[in-house]
Amino acid sequence: MGKKKIYEDYIGYTLLKPIVDWNVKHSYRKVEVRGKENIPTDGAVIIAPNHCNTLMDALVILRAFDNQTVFGARADIFNNPTIGKIMTFIRILPMVRQRDGLRNVLKNNETQEIIVETLEHKVRFCMFPEGRHRPAHSLQTLGKGTFRAALAANARFGDRMPVYIVPTGLEYGDYFRYRSTSLVTFGKPINVTEFVKGQEVDNEVKLIEPLRKELASRMSELITYIKDDENLYSKWALTKILSVSEGRMYGNFGTGLYEGMLENRKTAAAIEALSETAPEAMEKLLEKVEAFEKKRRKKGISVYSFSRKNSVLKAAGKAFAAVIGLPYYIFSAIASAPMWLTYNLLRCKTRDRAFHNTVGFGVKLALGILLFIIYAALSFSLMPWPYALAVTLLTIPSYSFFFDYNEGMRRFISDIKVLTDKKIRNFYKDIVKEFQKIQKFNQN
């Protein structure tokens, strides 16, 4: 029997996918998938998400579907033969960029043929149009690869079934902290087949440009979008400050991630509008925001600690919860020690902080099952079965609980720092008041 095509089912992938999906889900405190009803079922589908959190971007897309999805990734990742085999096993194709040189770019003809064949068999293909990841609430210039693949597929079989590009938004509560939140939003599809029919030209270059503009526009509507300029990160910091001042705690229990994203979009849009109408005032405010961010980070303070809900009584409640959870935290720290120690070691060696969540996931996937088997074998050989069963089950969430407890303690300590630091509280309030003042002045 010949070698399996990348889009064909095979037993290894079928067995591994549920395990990967489970580990992806538990790499986040909260996950949401919205807009799956927007994905067409009558044609070939290219999923086109923003690229902001390295391999986790592909994994949260993978988890969103029960059946297979084929992905494209930077070709240089495949330079290591072992990693290349793993990537191929999990249905990821090498995508060569112009910066990789003409000789390598020619390999894209072979890759594009595989993409078209995959789409022709009605298997989804996911491509990241930005080409490279960047942990930011914005969009980079979209490359041509996604559109070339779509147009090639349409040329091959567009007369038999339509080709669609589905704009997709990926939003995370934190790009660098393991066990944050993940939101996937699928937008209204672009019917490439109908688009091509409506054009008077068949020149690829002239077809790509309007497609690129349309996709960028639709993608920007699915995330907290901030204009890509020198104030990008200051504007995002101000967005969070204002969200907290309005009582919105993105990702907290009882708060929908999608609804939170929509509210953040409104806040970011208001900031962008004022940056246009009152540039000097906003420039000064953003300088204050930058100074505030440096100060709070230096002090180890979370922006969420400035919430109006932060009080001595609330801090006392958190302290009580910490005491109650301490015994299981100690158990979790011991049980998951091989994992979190490995995670910290690898994280320290990882230069790009955006890979930290990927490292956390990888450690959980690689060591989680092994440790479960070891602990189960030891427990059932040394204890009566009811106790062995209890201990074995308690080890399953230990890695996640260890991170959640640490994050809870970080927030608790941060809350105490804010409650006892009047200067930084006033600094925060001044920023909120100044924004409201600028907003009110420009409304009159």
* Per-residue confidence (pLDDT) for residue 281, from 0 to 100: 97
* Per-residue confidence (pLDDT) for residue 1, from 0 to 100: 41
- For 36, what's the count of Cα atoms within 13 Å in the CB-facing half-sphere? 9
Contacting residues for 195 by C-beta, under 8 A, at least 6 apart: 207, 210, 211
* Per-residue confidence (pLDDT) for residue 243, from 0 to 100: 94
pLDDT in tens, the chain (444 residues): 456 788 888 888 889 999 999 999 999 999 999 999 999 999 999 999 999 999 999 999 999 999 889 998 877 777 777 767 777 777 888 877 655 554 555 556 788 899 999 999 999 999 999 989 999 999 999 999 999 999 999 999 999 999 999 999 999 999 999 999 999 999 999 999 999 998 877 788 889 999 999 999 999 999 999 998 899 999 999 999 999 998 876 655 557 899 999 999 999 999 999 999 999 999 999 999 999 999 999 999 999 999 988 899 999 999 999 999 999 999 999 999 999 999 999 999 998 999 999 999 999 999 999 999 999 999 999 999 999 999 999 999 999 999 999 999 999 999 999 999 999 999 999 999 999 999 998 886
The count of other CB atoms within 10 Å of the CB of residue 289 is: 24
Q: What is the spatial distance between Cα 143 and Cα 345, in angstroms, rounded to a whole number? A: 35
CA 324, 326, 329, 331 torsion-angle sign: negative
Contact call for residues 71 and 115 (beta carbons, < 8 A): no
What domains does the chain contain, in order, with CATH numbers? 11-220 (3.40.1130.10), 232-298 (no CATH), 312-419 (no CATH)
Burial of residue 379 (number of CB atoms within 10 Å: 0-12, 13-18, 19+): buried
Left, alpha or beta for 120 (phi > 0: left; psi -120 to 50: alpha)? Answer: alpha
Q: What is the spatial distance between Cα 245 and Cα 270, in angstroms, rounded to a whole number? A: 15
* Per-residue confidence (pLDDT) for residue 97, from 0 to 100: 61
- For 108, what's the count of Cα atoms within 13 Å in the CB-facing half-sphere? 22
Strand partners, 32: 183
Q: Hey, what long-range contacts does 100-109 have (CB within 8 A, 24 or more apart)? A: 100/75, 100/76, 104/75, 107/75, 108/145
Q: What is the spatial distance between Cα 19 and Cα 30, in angstroms, rounded to a whole number? A: 18
Q: How far is CA 301 from the centre of its chain?
A: 23
Q: Hey, what long-range contacts does 4-10 have (CB within 8 A, 24 or more apart)? A: 5/117, 5/118, 6/70, 6/88, 6/91, 6/93, 6/114, 6/118, 7/68, 7/70, 7/91, 7/117, 7/118, 7/121, 7/123, 9/68
The token duo for 247 is: 């009582």
* Per-residue confidence (pLDDT) for residue 357, from 0 to 100: 94
Among 55, 49, 71, which Cα is nearest to 168's?
49
* Per-residue confidence (pLDDT) for residue 247, from 0 to 100: 82
* Per-residue confidence (pLDDT) for residue 64, from 0 to 100: 96
| Helix 356-382 and helix 337-349, axial crossing angle in degrees, nearest 10 | 160
* Per-residue confidence (pLDDT) for residue 108, from 0 to 100: 67
| Helix 232-245 and helix 279-298, axial crossing angle in degrees, nearest 10 | 80
Q: Which amino acid is at 23?
A: N
* Per-residue confidence (pLDDT) for residue 202, from 0 to 100: 74
* Size (the chain), residues: 444
The count of other CB atoms within 10 Å of the CB of residue 81 is: 8
| Helix 312-335 and helix 398-419, axial crossing angle in degrees, nearest 10 | 150
Among 45, 229, 28, which Cα is nearest to 126's?
45
